[in-house]
Each structure stands twice: as structure tokens, then as C-alpha cells.
């Protein structure tokens, strides 16, 4: 699941951003025993309470994601003489030209797209209400993050780059595949290695968790299939702005969350519905990454929303999807008696709206990366607020 998420998410987050294609809080109780520290949702009569200081543990984990987001701001072009080695290793714009095959392979997996999927696993673990800060649970979560990030997101990004090589030849001819820095056989070998590695880790996690039904394996398999039909003909979902972007949003928000929650607890229908609703915000995020690819999309007949509706209309569809979804989730939490968490989520929406008017709505093509680096950390922290609110 996380795999899917990282697949689709990586696809658009990185590919579109780079010119290519392609998540109700309850208080937390902490108990210390001689053997382990346990963190779980506390049961209260009112089902609400002040945000626990234990949130700082999760927020600390997310600081690195915010750091990577700001580091991802890079120039539109990447001349071989002036590119950055750091950008090259992260797989983002402004990358230096490389001849080292291992660095090129890492670049194709776009490590800068891994943190949101890794964060999705954290949200799922938090929502399960059954994650404990002991060696075994931390090891399980790390393995799930590796499955979702380096393996399945890396698979998705490499696969997407392969099928986007004609678009990249227009938008980013210096990329490894269109420039010929890596051969066809080497790319295909990497795709299979990452896919099989991710599926293998999914199966291992099911055995480790004692699942009678291998839910994590099937989430990984389903996500991998979704990634394939998103990028590859004949379906190539990303050719349709609505279907492709929602598939991306669902993968970005839902799949890693589902994987993390299934690993430590039970994936329930209400969580599935809530995360799919949240995926509409992911649709908005996917649209942001379409603006820089308008030229290539037009040339190859891809009906992204900026191509289909124009820049001005598409930017309002984008911010509307992001804001209305989060407000709806805040309303759900308020109706469920989680007023503190609803207020916390509303507080995280405010800076996103400010950055929308400050950057994105002024010029979505010029400020797309700057807007994402500024606003997206607040959206993803809102996912954690929602996860903790729904934990049982």
C-alpha cells in the first residue's frame, strides 16, 4: 500500500515537479515499564483533551521532511556545468550531470519523494493505537518505510521516468534516460529489482505481524499495479487529468497510511473512507505538479487539468480541492467530538491558505515548488492530527 502511494506520489511529485509525471486525534497516554515504553490512545469519557506533548515525538520525525522540501527548491534548468550534486542525489531539478551509474540509479528513484510516503506509514501506525516504542515495533515500521520509500516509490519513479522519456526529452533533456546516461537494460533491471524487493518486504511484514491474510503484500501488489497503469500504455491514467490525479492523490494519502495501520492494528472501513476523502487533497497536490509540464503534455496529448482548463481555472480547482477536503475532515472530527483536534487541523489549514495567496495563486508556474515547500508540511502534519484523532 505504501508502495502504491509512493509509486503514484513519487510519480507526480517528482516527475511533474521536475517536468515529468508520476495520509480524530485522541490524547496519548505514556506508560513506562521495565521492558518498554508504550504509547497508545487514552480512553476518556469525553473523547477529547489537549494535544499531548508526545506529539513532539512525531513532529520531530517530520522535521527532516520539511528540510528536504525546502532544499528541493531549484532552478528550472540543469546545465551540466552548474548543477548541484546534492540535487542530483535527491533526484530533483538543478541536478549535476553524473557518470557514476550508482548515483544515476539513485537519482532515478527520486529520494526527495520518499518522505511523504514514509510519513504516511507513521500516520497509519499512530492511527492503529497499537504502536509501542520498543525495538520490535520500531524495526517493523522502518522495514515498512523501506518498502514504501526506497523500494516501491523508487520502482514507481524509475518506471515513470522510463515511460515519460519522450516528455522528458522535451521538458528535461538532461535527465538520465533521455540523455543516454543509463541504458535501457539497466533501467529495466532496476525496475524489476525494486518491484520484487518491495513485494518481498510486504510478504515478510505480513509474516512478522502474524497476519492470516497477507494484507500488506496485497496492498503493495495493488499499489504497484496502479503505478504501472498510471504510467504505461494502453491505460496510462495520467493522460486524463481527473482520473490520473485522483489515483495519485489516493496513493499519496491512503496507501502508506493503510500499510502502517494494517501492520500494527486493523484497517477498518471508516478509516478507508476517511483516507479516500483525504485523497481529494492529494488530487490538488497532483495538479500543482502539472503546471511545469504544460508544454510537454500538450505536445504528447496528455490532458492534464492545466492543459484542459487553462492555468487560471486549474489553479482554483487545485486550491479548492486541498482546502475543502481539509475543512470537511475538520468538520468530521468536530462532529465526532474531537474538538481539540478539529481546531488543531483548522490551525494548520490557515498557513496553507496564506501561502496559496502569497505564491501559488499569483503564478502557479513560477511558484509551484516554493508553494509546496512552504505549505505542504502543514498539510502533512494535519494528516497526523487526523490519524491520532481516529486511533483506537
**Using one digit for the tens of pLDDT, what is the confidence trace for 117-126?**
899 999 999 9
User: Looking at residue 80, what DSSP letter applies?
Assistant: T
Confidence of residue 260 (pLDDT cuts 50, 70, 90): very high
CA angle 62, 3, 371 (to 5 degrees): 45
**Rounded to an integer, what distance in angstroms lies between the CA atom of residue 221 and that of residue 199?**
7
Question: What is the secondary structure of 241-255 as a DSSP string?
Answer: HHHHHHHHHHHHHHH
| Sequence-separated (6 or more) residues with CB below 8 Å from residue 316 | 361
Which strands make up the sheet holding 37-41, listed edge to edge? Answer: 28-32, 37-41, 132-133
- What does the mean pLDDT of the chain come to? 80
The 3-state secondary structure of 284-332, one letter per residue:
HHHHHCCHHHHHHHHHHCCECHHHHHCHHHHHHHHHHHHHHHHHHHHHH
Give the pLDDT confidence score for residue 125 in this predicted structure. Answer: 95
Whose cell is 502543514? That residue is 378
Interatomic CA distance for residues 152 and 8, integer angstroms: 10
Q: Which residue has the higher pLDDT, 140 or 179?
A: 140
Q: In the chain, what percentage of residues exceed pLDDT 90?
A: 51
What is the pLDDT at residue 224? 96
Burial pattern 325-346, b for ≥16 Cβ within 10 A else e, equals bbeebbebbbebebebbbebbb
Is the confidence at residue 64, as pLDDT, over 50? Answer: no
Q: Does 1 score more than 70 pLDDT? A: no
pLDDT at 79 over 50: no
Cβ(68)–Cβ(112) below 8 Å: yes
Q: Evaluate whether 119 touches 153 at the Cβ level (below 8 Å).
A: no
The full DSSP string for 183-227 is -HHHHHHHHHHHHHHHHHHHHHHHHHHT-SS-HHHHHHHHHHHHH
107 CB neighbour count, 10 Å cutoff = 26
Among 23-32, 58-67, 169-178, 330-339, the range scoring the smallest mean pLDDT is 23-32
Pick from 292-296, 326-330, 371-375: least confident: 292-296
- Per mean pLDDT, which range of 114-123, 183-192, 195-204, 285-294 is the poorest? 285-294
Q: pTM of the full predicted structure?
A: 0.74
Q: What is the pLDDT of residue 285?
A: 87
pLDDT higher than 50, residue 226: yes
Instruction: Provide the pLDDT for residue 113.
Output: 81
Domain boundaries of the chain, sorted by first residue: 2-390
Rounded mean pLDDT of 78-101?
63
The torsion of the CA quartet 106, 68, 290, 10, rounded to 10 degrees, works out to 40
Report the pLDDT value the prediction gives residue 242, as an integer from 0 to 100.
Answer: 87
* Residue scoring higher pLDDT (217 or 12): 217
CA-to-CA distance for 49 and 29, rounded, in angstroms? 11
For range 126-152, the mean pLDDT: 95
Distance CA 343, CA 288 (A): 27
| Residue that is written with C-alpha cell 492534464 in the block | 304
373 has a pLDDT exceeding 70: yes
For the segment 74-79, the average pLDDT, to the nearest whole number, is 42
**Which cell numbers in the block locate residue 90?**
535527491
Q: Is 269 helix (H, G, I), strand (E, B) or coil?
A: helix
- Residues 14-63: tens digit of each pLDDT: 444 444 434 333 333 334 343 333 434 434 444 444 444 455 555 545 54
pLDDT at 115: 82
pLDDT band at 171; cut points 50, 70, 90: confident
Amino acid at each position: 500500500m505504501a508502495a502504491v502511494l509512493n509509486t503514484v506520489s513519487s510519480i507526480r511529485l517528482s516527475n511533474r515537479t521536475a517536468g515529468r509525471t508520476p495520509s480524530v486525534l485522541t490524547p496519548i497516554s505514556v506508560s513506562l515499564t521495565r521492558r518498554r515504553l508504550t504509547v497508545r490512545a487514552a480512553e476518556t469519557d469525553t473523547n477529547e483533551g489537549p494535544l499531548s506533548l508526545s506529539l513532539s515525538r512525531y513532529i520531530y520525525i517530520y522535521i527532516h521532511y520539511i528540510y528536504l522540501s525546502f532544499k528541493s527548491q531549484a532552478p528550472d534548468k540543469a546545465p551540466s556545468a552548474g548543477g548541484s550534486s546534492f540535487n542530483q542525489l535527491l533526484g530533483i531539478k538543478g541536478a549535476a550531470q553524473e557518470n557514476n551509474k550508482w548515483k544515476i540509479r539513485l537519482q532515478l528513484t527520486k529520494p526527495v519523494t520518499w518522505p511523504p510516503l514514509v510519513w504516511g506509514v507513521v500516520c497509519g501506525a499512530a492511527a492503529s493505537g497499537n504502536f509501542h516504542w520498543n525495538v520490535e515495533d520500531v524495526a517493523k515500521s522502518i522495514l515498512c518505510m523501506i518498502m514504501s520509500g526506497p523500494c516501491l516509490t523508487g520502482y514507481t519513479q524509475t518506471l515513470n521516468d522510463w515511460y515519460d522519456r519522450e516528455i522528458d526529452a522535451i521538458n528535461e533533456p538532461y535527465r538520465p534516460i533521455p540523455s543516454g546516461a543509463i541504458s535501457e537494460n539497466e533501467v529495466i533491471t532496476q525496475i524489476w529489482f525494486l518491484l520484487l524487493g518491495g513485494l518481498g518486504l510486504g510478504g515478510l511484514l505480513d509474516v512478522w505481524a502474524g497476519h492470516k491474510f497477507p494484507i500488506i503484500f496485497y496492498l503493495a501488489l495493488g499499489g504497484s499495479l496502479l503505478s504501472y497503469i498510471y504510467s504505461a500504455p494502453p491505460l496510462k491514467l495520467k493522460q486524463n487529468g481527473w482520473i490520473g490525479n485522483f489515483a495519485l492523490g489516493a496513493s499519496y494519502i491512503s496507501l502508506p497510511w493503510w500499510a502502517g495501520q494494517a501492520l500494527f492494528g486493523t484497517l477498518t472501513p471508516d478509516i478507508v473512507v476517511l483516507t479516500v476523502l483525504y485523497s481529494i487533497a492529494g488530487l490538488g497536490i497532483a495538479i500543482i505538479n502539472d503546471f511545469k509540464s504544460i508544454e510537454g503534455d500538450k505536445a504528447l496529448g496528455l490532458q492534464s487539468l492545466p492543459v484542459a482548463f487553462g492555468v487560471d481555472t486549474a489553479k482554483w480547482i487545485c486550491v479548492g480541492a486541498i482546502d475543502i477536503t481539509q475543512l470537511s475532515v475538520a468538520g468530521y472530527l468536530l462532529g465526532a467530538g474531537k474538538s481539540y483536534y478539529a481546531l488543531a487541523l483548522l490551525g494548520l489549514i490557515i498557513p496553507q491558505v496564506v501561502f496559496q495567496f502569497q505564491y501559488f495563486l499569483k503564478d502557479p508556474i513560477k511558484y509551484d515548488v516554493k508553494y509546496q515547500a512552504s505549505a505542504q508540511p502543514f498539510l502533512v502534519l494535519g494528516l497526523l492530527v487526523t490519524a491520532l484523532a481516529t486511533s483506537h
